[in-house]
Structure 1
Amino acid sequence: MVETLPESLPSVMYIISSLDVGGAEKQLLLLASERKKKGADVIVVSLKKNGALRSQFQSNGIDVYDLGINRSIPNPLTLIRLVRLINKYKPKIIHSWMYHADLLATIALSMSRRKNLTSLVWSVRCSNMDFSRYSIMLRCVVWCCIKMSGIPNCITFNSFAGAEIHQSLGYKNRYLKVIGNGVNTELFKPNSLMRKKNRELLNIPSNAFVIINIARVDPMKDHKNLLLALDKLPEVYTIFIGLGTEQFNLGSQMYGLGRRSDINTLLATSDLIVSCSAFGEGSSNALMEGMACGLPAVATDIGDSAYIMGKAGKIVEARNPEKLSSAIQEFLLMPESEIKSYKIAARERMIKMFSLNQLVENYEQLYLSII
């Protein structure tokens, strides 16, 4: 039972690598916006300029600051700007999200006048990353985070898998806590009217079996093996959503829609949510949003996907298109009565275990425990 929260909530400065569309960024938008509604002082600092979600933060009454980092040109003025912001706003807590922000927040706080007055929380948002596929700069940042991991008052992880893997990498802290992602089950819910409308707009037959995959084009998301799996399922219609997915307009039954702001209605258009990450996934927003819309799920066994899904879908081995194809086909051939039971289980699990209210309460209790 969650304790009643005090009327005055602690002020938090959130520092994040960017405000581009992504799972971590969307979770921060949910958390910061809900805290703002409750009357908390909330400030968001992005290491990079602009970002597609910036306007949504601002429209929810949240002050947003850019540090203007250019990935290719490190600039010490960036650190000075952050130190000045910390000194100006005097937050009770600094909560940094993702590796680069964790590192910069730690250094800036140590240089500020708030060094012994402001608590620091890190958030790790991934699991078994394949760092060989990314820049040497990222590897250096992670190495620094490992060495500095004892400094924060708490390190949070959005998955049990992420906590275990980062401890094996060398993360050491007296207070490690897993707080999974949350989903707005009032926004993401079944919608029969939008299902009919979107199928007409996309020219998808009303009786077609439609799967949906929501992921930017990135080695982690493994679109390659999903496409191989779909080669074996010519009767299936597929909707791809995410940065770079326009390239998947590969035929009359594949729709690469790129970035979209109407993901909830497109999920309602579909019959099955598929998450096929090859590595690195911690707690999949897309999987949760799909299940909240009442979709059964097929996911690769990466991060906490099996825990999130429970008995509302099928878990398969990563990077295995044959097993992925077989799992999708199971749902394609499944009797409607059995599919209905999966749909009910999916939405009920999101409401019971991963609600937005639970997400916010978990973080508020964490904040109160470290100030």
Structure 2
Amino acid sequence: MRPALHVISGLRTGGAETMLVALCGALTAASMPQHVVSLTGDGPNAAALERLGVTVHRLAPRGAAGSALALIRLARLIRSLRPAVIQGWLYHGDLFAAGAHRLAGAPRGTLLAWGLRNSDIDHARYGRLLAIGRRLSGWPGLVVSNSQAGADFHRAEGYRPRRLAVIPNGIDTARFRPDPAARAALRRELGLPDDAVVAVHAARLDPMKDHATLLAAAARLPDLRFLLAGEGTRGLALPGNALALGRRDDFARIQAAGDIAVSSSAFGEGFSNAVAEGMAAGLMPVATSVGDAGAILGGLGRLVPPRDPAALADALAGVAALPPPVRRAAGLAARARIESTYGVGAMAERFLAAWRGAGAGLENEIPPSARRAT
């Protein structure tokens, strides 16, 4: 089978990077070779990909001359590999993939695909990239969005893709699962009582994640404990019931220690991995109605307006007040929803079907192992 070539901004810890690792793992298991180009060199997920047998190419361009050289190197890689598909991830990855595909001569049988991972976005920070993407959105044969909210936002911004597919993220439910041993061990490490109700907020420090609203809600709930896991969180001024863990690579263990998965995002989310991973771990979700959060929850947990600390605090208080057996049963229902709707195998199969439908040079049948992958 001809390989897939993925182009991504970098391989740090993040939602897009996590999904790239999951997809490459599933497709490698289905005997489809995977190559990943990182535009910022190394990151924690580079090693994770290489352990799966994925070849990682590190370009890391610097300045205009470096970017030109990186495009030439990427075009040469395309000519050498003759991939069935070049899949971009995030705006920078999309644009580099498009430029190198053109420079390589837009080879016949090699599909250019873009990947959109956000919904509404801060125009002050990303407006220029969004404008370039808008002008070039007819280049790729396929645009993949991980959320309906993201697809609708980019259409409203003037994106006019030839073909668009909405493919939700896939969650590794073997990794993110209820784990009593991990729960007890991490609580001991952090000094959290066994009977404490703990809300887990897994997000890097970024305006879109709106830690300010989360902490304002936490300050109203002194009896509820909060764990903040994500790069930059150690620098926050925290109320006494919150603990910042900084950047972590053991999110499955952290989720297992909690009772509530909380997302306070104000904008920009497409498909929230943190919410879905928490649900897979058996946590009851509380999320702001941003991106496809409502679709992920599917009527479970609590959905509140963004930028509203009082509403977020009320929702968290309501979940915390539930009898523990009721809360645990709701968490298991949340896990069942993720297992049935958002598995990694289903995501891999959807990518293969979308690539093939857009003209990628793939075999006619989807490998059954893609469906079985977890």
TM-score by shorter chain over 0.5: yes
Q: Which residue in 2 is equivalent to 1:108?
A: 100
Which residue does the alignment assign to 1:276?
Answer: 264
What percent of counterpart residues are identical? 35
Match of 1:34 among 6, 26, 46: 26
CA distance in 1, matches of 2:297, 2:61: 37
Match of 2:59 among 67, 75, 88: 67
Which amino acid in structure 1 is aligned with residue 70 of structure 2? T
Distance 1:73 1:307, change over 3 A: farther
Separation of aligned partners in 2, 1:151 and 1:50? 29
Whether 1:162 and 2:150 are equivalent positions in the alignment is yes
Q: Distance in 2 between matches of 1:73 and 1:181?
A: 35
Q: 1:336 to 1:124 in 2, by over 3 A?
A: same
2:278 maps to 1:290: yes
Provide the C-alpha distance between the structure 2 equivalents of 1:351 and 1:339, rounded to a whole number of angstroms.
19
Q: Distance in 2 between matches of 1:72 and 1:83?
A: 17
| Change beyond 3 A, Cα 1:73–1:130 | farther
Specify which of 17, 37, 44 is matched with residue 45 of structure 1: 37
Question: SS state of the match for residue 249, structure 2?
Answer: coil
**Does structure 1 residue 262 correspond to structure 2 residue 254?**
no
Q: Which residue of 2 aligns with 1:214?
A: 202
Does residue 364 (structure 1) correspond to residue 352 (structure 2)? The answer is yes
- Residue 74 of structure 1 deviates from its aligned partner by 5.9
Report the count of equivalent residues.
359
For structure 2, the residue ranges without an aligned partner over 5 or more in a row are 361-374
Supply the distance in 2 between the matched residues of 1:40 and 1:176 (Cα, whole angstroms).
23
Determine if contact 2:41/2:59 at 8 Å carries over to the other structure.
yes
- TM-score, L = length of structure 1: 0.93
**Length-normalised TM-score, structure 2:** 0.92
1:318 to 298, 306, 310: 306
Match of 1:4? Answer: none
Equivalent in the alignment of 1:229 = 217
Structure 2 Cα separation of the partners of residues 44 and 226 of structure 1: 35
Distance in 1 of aligned mates of 2:164 and 2:59: 28
Helix, strand or coil at the partner of 2:181: helix
User: Aligned with 1:53: secondary structure?
Assistant: helix
2:84 pairs with 92, 95, 117, which one? 92
What is aligned with 2:118? 126
Give the 5 Å matches for 1:178-217: 178-217=166-205
**SS of structure 1 residue aligned to 2:31:** coil
Decide which moves more: 270-279 or 34-43.
Answer: 34-43
Contact 1:48–1:70 (CA under 8 A) maintained in structure 2: no
Moved more, 243-252 or 144-153: 243-252
Residue number among 193, 215, 238 corresponding to 2:226 in the alignment: 238
Letter matched to residue 292 of structure 2 = D
2:107 maps to amino acid? K
Q: Deviations over 1:33-76 (max 9, x none)?
A: 22112211211001111122111111211111111123798631
* Residues 166-211 of structure 1: CA deviation (Å, up to 9, x unaligned): 0000111231110000101111110112211211111111111110
Letter of the 1:336 counterpart: P
SS of the aligned residue for 2:329 comes to helix
Deviations 1:195-250 (A, max 9, x none): 11211111111111110000000001000111011110011111111111122473
Shift of 1:130: 1.6
Structure-2 residue corresponding to 1:174: 162
Aligned equivalents of 2:64 and 2:192: distance in 1? 44
TM-superposed CA distance for 1:109, in Å, is 0.7
**Cα contact 1:86–1:114 (8 A) shared by 2:** no
Measure, in 2, the Cα distance between the counterparts of 1:304 and 1:121. Answer: 22
Offset at 1:336? 3.0
Task: Give the RMSD, CA atoms, in angstroms.
Answer: 1.6
Paired AA for residue 289 in structure 1: E
Which whole-Å CA distance do the structure 2 matches of 1:242 and 1:71 have between them?
29
Q: Residue 124 of structure 1: CA displacement?
A: 0.3
Structure 1: unaligned runs, 5 residues or longer:
1-7
> How many angstroms apart in 1 are the aligned matches of 2:244 and 2:236?
5
Distance 1:192 1:340 in 2: 12
3-state SS of 2:44 partner: coil
- Distance in 2 separating the partners of 1:71 and 1:330: 51
Out of 347, 350, 354, which is 2:338 matched to? Answer: 350
